[in-house]
Amino acid sequence: MARVSSTSNIFPTGRDDITGQFGLIWQVLKEPLIVPVLKLLVVVCLGMSIMLFIERVYMGIVIVFVKLFGRKPNKMYKWEPMKDDIEVGNSAYPMVLVQIPMYNEKEVYQLSIGAACGLSWPPDRIIIQVLDDSTDPAIKSLVELECQRWASKGINIKYEIRDNRKGYKAGALKEGMKHSYVKQCDYVAIFDADFQPEPNYLWRTIPFLVHNPEIALVQARWKFVNSDECLMTRMQEMSLDYHFTVEQEVGSATYAFFGFNGTAGVWRISAVNEAGGWKDRTTVEDMDLAVRASLKGWKFVYVGDLKVKNELPSTFKAYRYQQHRWSCGPANLFKKMAIEIVKNKKVSLWKKCYVIYSFFFVRKIVAHIVTFVFYCVVLPSTVLVPEVSVPKWGAVYIPSIVTLLNAVGTPRSLHLMVFWILFENVMSLHRTKATFIGLLEVGRVNEWVVTEKLGDALKAKLPAKATKKPRIRIGERLHLLELCAGAYLFFCGCYDFAFGKNRYYIFLFLQSIAFFIAGFGYIGTFVPNS
């Protein structure tokens, strides 16, 4: 019996020894290393929070003045409707090129081509150019057939392909500009494959370019046709509405700068050429062109009340790829162009500061990093290291004000604010990772994955599969980064609940649940396998 008793005590003693060793290592490292590093991170994160807070308040003040004084584009710039000229006929209207870049867009190609061909403009003064980079022969045949169908109706539509995908979208647009018939065009309107402009789109945008020779770009707002599809698309709508309602509006109204959104915009072709044309050095070719054109002294106009319908990514996989591209690209472009912007002599010091500090540094780098590092790493870590504390104004007041200012763009979704905060924190993990990849130019820095569009495919697919259980591959649904972040936050929440005094555990438990939901793939629309 004594021997059995002795054996039974071996494992508890072993576990106690291991726990004690970890505790000893923790105590040895905490004071000289962990505490100073964590204190430094708190100071850095508080500094970034203040920068973001000032930026949001500034834009809030500007947008209030814009609304109060009615600084609409047609009042800031000359705008007159295009009129017929009996003597010269349709030649009084400028020649417009409409480019539709696409890649295996089986679900939406008909919508985009149909909308472009439906634009109201003198038929002999418009050319529709479909730039098809599809690698699926069946889809290429469908797109070509659709172009032929519209051509048979008298539409001047060109179906253009190339033998490689070099440069991705930027390469396709650049190649499209080389065709001889483009030389007769004055302006180029660009629409991604899921965008559907209204027939009067050109009538509302072209006059800005015709009557104001200093304007290079007229950008329209996006209108989301599937924002109510699921909770994830509602969250995206809240984030993007702030971008369009505030960021774009402020940049346009103050004659400062705003980035081209890559679609739903009209460019003056001479400005594109002067800026150096399309470049594929980053995954944000649209922003690259806009910055270079701005440095040449060109102005941009944002028309917020002109909306172009499009589709939000509704699967988590598609959204993650999109956010990687949108976060990595700007950071990489900032690295490549910062010195060039500083040395530029054609624009004012104010504009340089605005582009470098406000547009790039605060919005494209600081906003991503502080969201994840502060709220998902540093703040939870202070629970484990009580020697380090975060002032209430930094942990509660500033984040609350910034969140409220961000949410004003979508009043109809204010009741979803808590879900939005948790979702944005989850996505900040990928945005921060992508930002560092862009700054350091490593790994997937130039990875371009076309955002998947579903169109009406999901609605047509689900009834047919209703009697069958969709096949789920575990590897496709599990996301280890989110699961690890969720586990860390849950551990910190449990520790704070048991031993802490900060009472962060409510936030930590909620945030860990959000990470777990994303980690197990229960977010967005799930598309059954064929």
Q: Helix, strand, or coil here: 512? A: helix
Q: E strands within 311-378?
A: none
pLDDT number for residue 75: 86
Under a CB-based contact definition with an 8 Å cutoff, are residues 280 and 173 in contact?
Answer: no
**Cα–Cα distance for residue pair 107/100, rounded to 1 Å:** 15
pLDDT number for residue 412: 87
> At a CB cut-off of 8 Å and minimum separation 6, what does 386 contact?
500, 501
Catalytic residues: 133, 286
Residues β-bridged to residue 289: none
In the DSSP assignment, the letter for residue 103 is S
Under a CB-based contact definition with an 8 Å cutoff, are residues 257 and 248 in contact?
Answer: no
pLDDT number for residue 15: 57
**Cα–Cα distance for residue pair 350/76, rounded to 1 Å:** 20
Average pLDDT of each block of 10 consecutive residues along the chain (530 residues)? 44 59 71 89 97 95 88 88 77 94 93 96 96 95 97 96 92 96 96 95 96 96 94 94 93 85 97 96 95 95 95 92 94 95 91 93 96 96 92 93 87 90 96 96 82 62 43 68 96 93 91 96 70
529 phi and psi angles, rounded to 5 deg: -70, 145
Under a CB-based contact definition with an 8 Å cutoff, are residues 488 and 421 in contact?
Answer: no
Which H or E run includes 297? none
Under a CB-based contact definition with an 8 Å cutoff, are residues 63 and 250 in contact?
Answer: yes
pLDDT number for residue 410: 84
Helices of type H across 71-108 = 73-76
